Amino acid sequence: MLDRINASLSALAKAEQRVARLVLSDPGAFAGLPVVELAARAQVSKPTVVRFCRSMGYGGLRDFKLKLAGSVREGVPYIHRSVDTNDKTGDVMVKVIDNTLAAFLKYRNEASATAMERAVRALVESCEAGRRIEFYGAGNSGIVAQDGQHKFFRLGVHSVACSDGHMQVMSASLLGPGDCAVVISNSGRTRDLMDACQIAGKRGATTIVITASDSPLATAGQIHLAADHPENYDEYSPMLSRLLHLLMIDILATCVALRLGSERLQPLLQEMKKNLRSKRYT
99, 68 Cβ separation under 8 angstroms: no
**Per-residue confidence in pLDDT tens, the chain, 282 aa:** 787 788 788 888 899 999 999 998 888 889 889 999 999 999 999 999 999 998 888 888 988 888 887 766 655 444 556 777 788 888 888 888 888 888 888 888 778 888 999 999 999 999 999 999 999 999 889 999 999 999 999 888 889 999 999 999 999 999 999 999 999 999 899 999 999 999 999 999 999 999 998 899 999 999 999 998 766 655 555 678 889 999 999 999 999 999 988 777 778 777 877 887 888 876
Task: Kindly list the domain boundaries of the chain, sorted by start residue.
Answer: 2-74, 76-110, 113-269
Q: What pTM was estimated for this model as a whole?
A: 0.71
C-beta separation of 225 from 212 below 8 A: no
Q: Measuring CA to CA, which residue among 166, 156, 201 is closest to residue 183?
A: 201
Can you say whether the dihedral through the CA atoms of 253, 254, 256, 261 is positive or negative?
Answer: positive
Do 122 and 180 form a contact (C-beta atoms < 8 A)?
A: yes
Q: Tell which CATH architecture fits domain 113-269.
A: 3-Layer(aba) Sandwich (3.40)
- 2-74 has which fold? Arc Repressor Mutant, subunit A (1.10.10)
